[in-house]
Amino acid sequence: MSTKLYVGNLSFEVTENDLRDMISPHGPVNEIAVVMDKITGRPRGFAFVTMNTDEGAKAAILALNGKDWKGRALTVNEARPREDRS
């Protein structure tokens, strides 16, 4: 069962490869989506990471939430379903 993680407070220079290198030691990573600003084309400072196993996702949350990475304290938790906007 795959688990989707929210990774926030990222540096605006972060790349998908940077995230993969940081998260993959905790378990197999299936997909990474760095959220980009539509107007500027720059990263918005957060991403979603889909991990192949629940155990890997839990290990990543425990190891990385609050960790200082590239000068910023990361927020890592299980992603919540997207809320409908009116």
Q: What burial class does residue 57 get, using C-beta atoms within 10 Å of its C-beta: 0-12 exposed, 13-18 middle, 19+ buried?
A: buried
What local confidence, expressed as pLDDT, does residue 83 receive? 80
CB-based contact 77:47 (threshold 8 Å): no
For residues 5 and 49, the answer to whether their CB atoms sit within 8 Å is yes
SS3 call for 4: strand
pLDDT tier at 6, thresholds 50, 70, 90: very high
1 pLDDT more than 90? no
Q: Side-chain half-sphere of 60: how many Cα atoms within 13 Å?
A: 31
pLDDT digits (tens, 9 = 90+) for 69-84: 999 999 999 998 888 7
Q: Tens digit of pLDDT for each residue in 9-50?
A: 999 999 999 999 999 999 999 999 999 999 999 999 999 999
Q: Is the predicted pLDDT of residue 85 greater than 80, yes or no?
A: no
